[in-house]
Amino acid sequence: MSTELGFEQARAELERIVAELESGRADLEEAVRLWERGEELYRLCVGKLDAAEGKIEELGRRAEAVKPEG
Amino acid sequence: MLSYSRLVKVEATLHGDRKVYSVSAFNRGVGSWLSRLPTLWVEGEITELRRQEGWQSVFFTLKDLEDGSCLPASMPRVTFDALRLDVADGDKVHVYGRPELYEARGVFRLRALSLEPLGLGAALVRIERLKKALAAEGLFAAERKRPLPLLPGRIGLLTGNEAAAKRDFLTAVAARFPAARVLVAETLVQGVKAPGAIVGTLGDLSAEPEVDVVVLARGGGSFEDLLPFSDERVVRAVAACQVPVVSAVGHEQDTPLCDLAADARASTPTAAARLVVPDERELRADLTRLRTALGRDTRRTLERARQSLQADAQRLRGAPALLLERKRARLDTLAGRLRALSPRATLERGYAIVRTESGIVRSAKVAAPGTRIDVELAEGALGARVEETRE
């Protein structure tokens, strides 16, 4: 499930978790659960950065394919 | 056009020694002569432009720019529409055409085959008009702008085949975020066919898997060079593009309309790169910061829970002693009350208890004179005999 999560959503959720913990509203059990989830999200984000490989590709030239206008 | 096959033989009738031509024959003859004239360019200002869906032709009057002389003109509507020039009254134009006679009415006019707006003025006016119309439609509204992805999957780069814009963009991307993936599409960005090519390429790029942002990069150029980026088709395609578009067309001072329709605008391809990819070092630092905060806040919650647990334990341990203390206090109170009730306290105030053999004496009647009595005092006791009884 979490593998489908994009970098952006993962980072946003991590930020929400930190804010929730910071507020001190979470009880012990909830705090531990949030921490585990936060670590998972952190690893996901860093993993995405580590896994990304720079690549430059070319899309087939379009100019020839252009249909002449009316 | 000078072919003699187009010349018609015009028949005249003879009235005495006079050759007479019918109107139709005259017009046909003149028309035939006019058609021998060459096709050429005429410069003038468009007035009285009339265009209707049902009509075969579009009609207008060309007015001389200096003395105001007029020349009626017509143009096939299909040709006129295909030019997509959005010309209007007041535009200065070059018209390519030849003279013709509308024989049914004997009206001479210019048959236009093509038309070009004259100079920058007309183009500027046209762009300004289009800008107003599209703005009124809400195409440039701030609410329409979509946020760019924080970390793009693939970046679509639409560019001309000039090296500079592409190189600047790719260099800046590689410096900030070496892991970025860019899909480059080179296309025509100049000339009449450019708008169609740009629209098509934009569609192709945005439909590619994982492309979640498209950058239009076109280096500086003359005003005319950048015209395709103000073409209505291009502007609409940018606004309707299924992924956010960053426009980096021309220099700072140029504002092609696609800039207004795009979700973000960059003054140069390098600036576009800064908008499209995050700085990898900053991104990692940001993640590290979040993780540190995560650990710190979790520890804080744990520490709070531990402290509250310790307080509970202490109260639990203290509980039996407290209970005992409370019981002792209650016992002390009882002892005090008991002491207060004891006869000893009464004796200490100076009272005495008198007893005979049959018990405590409460009445003089029970102790006749001579009876032996026992008097208990606060300290010690007396043995005595009754001397006298008073009732």
Residue A62 lies in a domain: no
Burial class (CB in 10 A: 0-12, 13-18, 19+), A53: exposed
Across B268-288, b (16+ Cβ under 10 Å) vs e yields: bbbbbbebbbbebeebeebbe
Tell me whether residues A28 and B284 touch, CB distance under 8 A: no
Residue A13 placed within a domain: yes
The reply to whether A59 falls in a domain is no
End-to-end CA distance of chain A, in Å?
Answer: 50
- Whether B304 sits inside 8 A of A24 (CB atoms) is yes
Chain A partners within 8 Å of B291 (Cβ): 38-39, 42
Tell me the pLDDT tens digit for each residue of B185-239: 999 998 888 999 999 999 999 999 999 999 999 987 777 788 899 999 999 999 9
Residues 6+ apart with CB under 8 A from B91: B45, B46, B117, B118, B122, B125, B126
Rounded to 5 degrees, φ, ψ at B52 are: -135, 145
Give the pairing type, strands B92-102 and B57-63: unpaired
Q: Tell me the HSE value of B322 on the side-chain side, using a 13 A CA sphere.
A: 6
Rounded Cα distance, B9 and B28, in Å: 9
Tell me what pLDDT residue B167 has. Answer: 92
Residue A70 has pLDDT above 60, yes or no: no
Task: Assess whether pLDDT exceeds 50 at residue A2.
Answer: no
* Residue B114: strand pairing partners: B96
Select from 2.20.28.90, 2.60.40.10, 1.20.58.2240, 2.40.50.140 the CATH code of B4-117.
2.40.50.140
A57 belongs to a structural domain: no
Alpha-carbon distance of A17 to A25, in angstroms, equals 11
What domain count does chain A have? 1
What was the pLDDT predicted at B30? 92
| B188 three-state secondary structure | coil
Please tell me the CATH superfamily of domain B126-278, with its number.
Succinyl-CoA synthetase domains (3.40.50.261)
pLDDT per residue rounded down to tens, chain B (391 residues): 444 445 567 788 888 889 999 999 999 999 998 888 999 999 999 999 999 989 999 999 999 888 889 999 999 999 998 887 778 888 888 999 999 999 899 999 999 999 988 766 667 878 888 999 999 999 999 999 999 998 898 999 999 887 788 999 999 999 999 889 999 999 999 888 899 999 999 999 999 999 999 999 998 777 778 889 999 999 999 999 999 999 999 876 778 999 999 999 998 999 999 999 999 998 899 999 999 999 998 888 888 888 888 888 888 887 777 788 888 888 888 888 777 777 777 778 888 888 988 888 888 888 888 889 999 888 888 999 998 888 7
Q: HSE of B190 in the Cβ direction (CA atoms, 13 Å)?
A: 12
Distance in angstroms (rounded) separating the CA atoms of residues B205 and B196: 14
Q: A68 pLDDT exceeds 60?
A: no
A70, two tokens: 């009316």
Nearest-CA distance from B199 to chain A in Å? 10
Enumerate the residues of chain A whose CB falls inside 8 A of the CB of residue B283.
Answer: 49
Residue A63 counted as domain residue? no
- In angstroms, the CA B193 to CA B200 distance is 11
Whether ipTM exceeds 0.85: no
List the B359-360 sheet strands across, edge first.
B359-360, B353-356, B372-376, B381-385
Mean pLDDT of A16-44: 89
Q: Is residue A15 part of a domain?
A: yes
Residues of chain A neighbouring B149 (CB-CB closer than 8 A): 8
Give the domain range for residue A10. 2-51
- pLDDT confidence tier of residue A69, bands split at 50, 70 and 90: very low
Name the residue with tokens 């007041």.
Answer: B90
Asked whether the beta carbons of B12 and B19 are under 8 A apart, the reply is: yes
B86 touches A: beta carbon within 8 Å: no
Question: What does the alpha-carbon distance between residue B169 and residue B177 come to, in Å, rounded to a whole number?
Answer: 12
Say what the pLDDT of residue B5 is.
47
Instruction: Give, as one character, the DSSP assignment of residue B379.
Output: S
Report pLDDT for B4. 47
Backbone angles phi, psi at B314, to 5 degrees: -65, -40
Q: What pairing do the DSSP bridges indicate for beta strands B181-186 and B154-159?
A: parallel
User: Residue B326: in which H helix or E strand, if any?
Assistant: helix B280-341
* CA distance linking residue B355 with residue A11, whole number of Å: 100
- Residues 6 or more apart in contact with residue B20 via CB below 8 angstroms: B12, B13, B14
B285/A contact by beta carbon, under 8 A? no
SS3 of residue B286 by DSSP: helix
Torsion of CA B178, B181, B186, B192, to 10 degrees: -110
Q: Helix or strand or coil: residue B179?
A: coil
Beta bridge partners of A55: B181
Beta strand B245-249 with B40-50 is: unpaired
* 3-class secondary-structure state, position B90: coil
> A63 and B197: CB-CB below 8 Å?
yes
Within 8 A of B196 by CB-CB distance, chain A residues are: 66-67, 69
